[in-house]
Structure 1
Amino acid sequence: MSDWIIKPVIMCGGSGTRLWPLSRKAFPKQFIPLYQGKSLFELTLERVSKLGDVLAVSGDDYRFFVQEIAEKAGVELTQILEPCGRDTAPAMGLAAAFSGKAEDLLLFCPADHFIPADETFRAMVNQASDLASDGWIVTFGVQPSAPSTAYGYIETGTAIREDAKQSVCFHEKPDIQTAMEFLSSGKFLWNSGIFLIKRVVLLDALKEFEPDIFKICLSSMDNVEQDGVFWRPSGAFEAVTKKSIDYAVMERAKKIAVVPFIGTWSDVGSWDAMFALSDVDDNGYGKLGVTENIYAIDSKNTLVHASDRRFVLTIGTRDLVIIDTPDALMVSALDQVEKVKKAVADLEKGGRSEVLEHRRVVRPWGAYDSIDHSERFQVKRITVKSGARLSLQKHNHRAEHWIVVKGTALVTRDDEKFLLGENQSTYIPLGALHRIENPGKIPLELIEVQSGSYLGEDDIERFDDEYGRKTQ
């Protein structure tokens, strides 16, 4: 009997700018319900959790998304919170430095890949496990279906066994001419970014090729602190070099085994890739999101996403991508859609808030939707989950009016504590210490009207908070 086990590690970073405006920095593509009401992260959890106990490497900004989706999927996981994003090599180093046996096999999977055949995937991983247990770093290469410039490539060499070859070299995303040469040679596979590595092999490789990354990751995990269900490496991690695992290890190690990926794979990295996941009719017309809010007349080869806030009608469209959200609309020629990444970078330089967040912002206690605003007022629709409560806080520049439209609210206002039912309201004066809680079994919904000289989210002074956000 083998003395090793497989431990899936899900890498939860990445901003997904090529799927804007649906994907935003504060709510990236891996957490958006893109496929049959499920997010790519939830699908990844379902796929890998049957292989072993799941470890997720995330960050402060995404920790509650990860936890909430895991609870929805019924999967218990351990979550390591990177103090800052430093690419895949340090993130994988933290996972390897976490507690476990030297012989454990770590299966590193990005959170944002679409792989529909779960059982086929698990069988492929299990089949490659003996290679990893023998000290090979196993990567899974996808057979190219076209000369794509969107993916990195792995050049394969001599056969290790019937279903695996040794890696010759990892190549970055090529130009179209090089991609065509790669495809015609038959020796190149797309780099899936999925790796199966024995824990001690990864640590030894980092120690040999990137000793600074190795030392900082070990030091950060030696001084890790537990924060509820989260594990926080020490601040020493912030000094680590930003580097991908491809550059740090894969291009330099000798024992790299490339196993052909079996089944369908997509990194869902662009709107063209999303086209393949959409409900496409005989005219090549694809629908995403709230599909009942979409209607087409004489429209072909068009992808449309609709939200629950607006109806979308297309007439006579050809070769377009139309992505509608409550606060941003993108219309692009299908063959120009890759330029959205540059557009997002330009918008971010210009300070557009739509790059960072959706109008609806998810919080650990629920969510809020900014319905309307002007210079001195803002209206929000707030939803508080059953049993959840916001922080005890005050504002120095604004007052608030709360109107309960569904459920029951338990309100703290300075020295008072009282209940509000549906159609009841209250007023929170500027500077008052306040909190709202949901003591009921159904979601609490209320309308909040803010008024004052400054309405920014940073005008919050927290005195007590269950989610580690207390103002210092």
Structure 2
Amino acid sequence: MPAINFDYEVAEKETSLAVLPYEGLWEELGTWGALAKRLKDNTSGNVFLGQHVENVSVINELEIPLLCEGVNNLIVAASPDGIVVCDKEASEQIKDYVTHIHARPMYEERRWGIYKVLNYVKYPDGFEHLTKEIILHPTCHISYQIHQHREEVWTITDGEGYFYHEGTKRKVGRGDVMHIKRGERHAIKAITPLTFIEVQSGAPLVEEDIERLEWPDTEA
């Protein structure tokens, strides 16, 4: 989805629209400053505010603690994708800088669950390693797929599921390790909430290096 305003991308191009009147409260939440005014609490997550703090809003999605002291009128937002610290009056200017940031997402929510990047390394010769933690919802699965530029190692850390590999299927659980080479068909489906560590090796490590296939059986 392009990073374009909904009105420009969808509404103005639509040829058949229905409009209903709305008489309730409406407030644009397009900036951190506007969002902060609507928050019930000044903090969210693992946050500690000191005694000399005034008009500061902090959202921390990281597991590590975030402490603020001796500051005023600030927005602080920390997530796996980055950290923002700005004056509330300047929050509208953040968009001018964000559009120039082109980085791999460190956290994503998908229909089947979530993943977060734990580590990424690119060596001088161009070889890459990427480590993810992936959590699948019960009965959900990732697509049956192959990769041309990377190998993967999956280590189950919690839960149970089915591992599909080159036309075979087996039950896997905590402690099981699966090795997947380039060009090999593979997938995994959760029975219970399923957590596993995925280590990718190769180059280039990009999300586009995926060919989705039909499922190998009718159970999925």
Q: Which band: TM-score by shorter chain?
A: 0.7 to 0.9
Give the share of equivalent positions with the same residue, in percent: 25
**Residues 357-381 of structure 1: CA deviation (Å, up to 9, x unaligned):** 4x11122222221111112211011
- The residue aligned with 1:296 is 49
Aligned residues of 1:371 and 1:380 also touching (Cα < 8 A): yes
Pairing 1:89–2:12 present: yes
SS class of match (1:318): coil
Superposition pairs for residues 275-424 of structure 1, below 5 Å?
275-280=36-41, 286-287=42-43, 289-290=44-45, 293-297=46-50, 298-345=52-99, 347-348=100-101, 352-353=102-103, 357=105, 359-375=106-122, 376-424=128-176
In the alignment, structure 2 segments of 5+ residues that lack a partner are 123-127, 216-220
Q: Which has the larger radius of gyration?
A: 1
Counterpart residue identity of residue 329, structure 1? I
CA distance in 1, matches of 2:135, 2:58: 28
- Residue 15 of structure 1 deviates from its aligned partner by 4.9
Per the alignment, in what secondary structure is the counterpart of residue 448 of structure 1?
A: strand
TM-score, normalised on structure 1? 0.41
State the partner residue of 1:453.
203
Verify the 8 A CA contact 1:411 1:435 in the aligned structure 2.
Answer: yes
Counterpart residue type for residue 90 of structure 1: K
Q: For each residue in 1:391-449, what CA deviation from the matched residue of structure 2 results, as whole angstroms up to 9, or x when unmatched?
A: 111111111111111111211111321111111111111211111111x2x31111111
The structure whose RCO (Cα within 8 Å, separation 6+) is larger is: 2
Offset at residue 14 of structure 1 (A) = 8.8
RMSD: 2.4
Q: TM-score normalized by structure 2?
A: 0.84
**Alpha-carbon offset, residue 295 of structure 1:** 0.7
**Counterpart AA for 1:319:** N
Separation of aligned partners in 2, 1:402 and 1:14: 32
Q: CA deviation at 1:315?
A: 0.8
Deviations 1:271-316 (A, max 9, x none): 2211222235xxxxx22x32xx111111111111111422110011
**Per-residue Cα deviation, 1:236-258 (whole angstroms, up to 9, x for no partner):** xxxxxxxxxxxxxxxxxxxxxxx
1:95 deviates by 4.9
SS of the aligned residue for 1:273 comes to helix
Structure with the higher fraction of residues in helix conformation: 1
Q: How many residues align?
A: 208
State whether residues 150 and 200 of structure 2, in contact with CA within 8 Å, keep that contact through their aligned partners in structure 1.
Answer: yes
